[in-house]
Amino acid sequence: MPPEHHAALPLGRLPTGPVLPVTRSWEASARGTIASAGVTWRAMLEGKRVSRISVRGFAVASATAVTTVGAVVGVASGSPQHAANGTTEAAAGDATLLADIPAGQQAQVQASSLAQQATAQADAASATAKKSAEEAARKAAAKSAVDKQQAAEKAAKDAKERKEAASRSATRDASSFSTQSSYTTAQVQAIARQMVPADQFQCFSNIVSHESGWNYRAVNASSGAYGLFQALPGSKMSSAGADWQTNPATQIKWGLSYMDGRYDSPCGAWSFWQANHWY
């Protein structure tokens, strides 16, 4: 059978053939091979340069070396069956596996393959470590971005609260206005400008314009809703003052409190009004 056919078969299932006798010269040759391999192995350990052999060559040579040494030991121990099997495998190996690899370079092949395996394992470990480091960096960057966003949102919220507080401190309470028997639209609007925060006044004015046209005595004939904000019933404005029917400042105080309490601000109330035409 040609050598290339032998190489395609797995170890341990090589085709049978004539058993070659194990002679002393053949045993001596095997011992010399092993000794030569040891010398080469020591040379590598001492840092001396050796030629590189293919990984396939190492696998082939290693398997053949095992079967060859097994054959020699089998003959030496007087086991006919082991000797015959070992001789057959050695003969097949000689014909198909060691033809391209000098016997003295088997240890060199083994060392080269082990070095390549170690390099591959080191590369794999390095790739894993790099991936872990990249993942850790990605998580850290994401956390940092979230922290910065939260800090920015908190700063914006604090700034808004400071602005609203400053605006409220600049407004007047209803009780600070002197009462009159009647008020013009301009006078009612002037009172509102002094009571409503400046950044909320336009939204406040939009609602009052739609509800009552700034008439603090406006009455809905069908429902009985009353005043600037068309409160229903109008008497609920008494929580802001007993003069709720005649004092626009009392009505403005109640209307502003209602918008802040239910919609957070007049602008919040105006947004709701635009979507629903009531508030």
| Grouped pLDDT means (10 residues each) for the chain, 279 residues | 46 45 50 50 46 44 45 42 47 48 73 87 92 92 91 85 59 82 96 95 97 97 96 96 96 96 96 95
Domain enclosing residue 30, as ranges: 3-117
One-letter amino acid for residue 53 of the chain: I
Residues 108, 34 within the same domain: yes
Q: How many whole angstroms separate alpha carbon 86 and alpha carbon 72?
A: 8
Contacts 24+ apart (CB under 8 A), 201-208: 201/266, 203/265, 203/266, 203/267, 203/269, 203/270, 204/255, 204/256, 204/259, 204/266, 204/270, 206/270, 206/273, 207/259, 207/266, 207/269, 207/270, 207/273, 207/279, 208/255
Residues 181, 113 within the same domain: no
- Is 154 part of any domain? no
- Is 168 part of any domain? no
DSSP assignment letter at 231? B
How many C-beta atoms surround the C-beta of residue 146 within 10 A? 10
- Is 127 part of any domain? no
Structural domain count of the chain: 2
For residue 181, the model assigns a pLDDT of 93
Q: Phi, psi at residue 235, to the nearest 5°?
A: -65, -15
Q: How many whole angstroms separate alpha carbon 202 and alpha carbon 266?
A: 9
For residue 84, the model assigns a pLDDT of 44
Q: Residue 219: which CATH number?
A: 1.10.530
DSSP assignment letter at 238? G
How many residues are there in the chain?
279
CA 161 to mean position of chain CA atoms: 35
Residues 178, 96 within the same domain: no
The answer to whether 200 and 228 are in contact (CB under 8 A) is no
Residues 10, 107 within the same domain: yes
Residues 194, 261 within the same domain: yes
Burial of 112 (0-12, 13-18, 19+ CB in 10 A): buried
For residue 204, the model assigns a pLDDT of 97
Residues 107, 180 within the same domain: no
For residue 12, the model assigns a pLDDT of 43
- Is 147 part of any domain? no
List beta partners, residue 272: none
For residue 57, the model assigns a pLDDT of 46
Residues 16, 105 within the same domain: yes
Residues 86, 187 within the same domain: no
- Is 85 part of any domain? yes
List beta partners, residue 231: 226
- Is 200 part of any domain? yes
- Is 25 part of any domain? yes
For residue 29, the model assigns a pLDDT of 54
For residue 108, the model assigns a pLDDT of 79
- Is 255 part of any domain? yes
The answer to whether 203 and 267 are in contact (CB under 8 A) is yes
Closest to 234 measured CA to CA, from 243, 244, 242: 244
For residue 209, the model assigns a pLDDT of 97
For residue 165, the model assigns a pLDDT of 60
Q: How many whole angstroms separate alpha carbon 180 and alpha carbon 194?
A: 17
What pTM does this model have? 0.43
Residue 196 CA: distances (Å) to CA of 97, 131, 269: 99, 59, 14
For residue 5, the model assigns a pLDDT of 46
SS3 71: helix
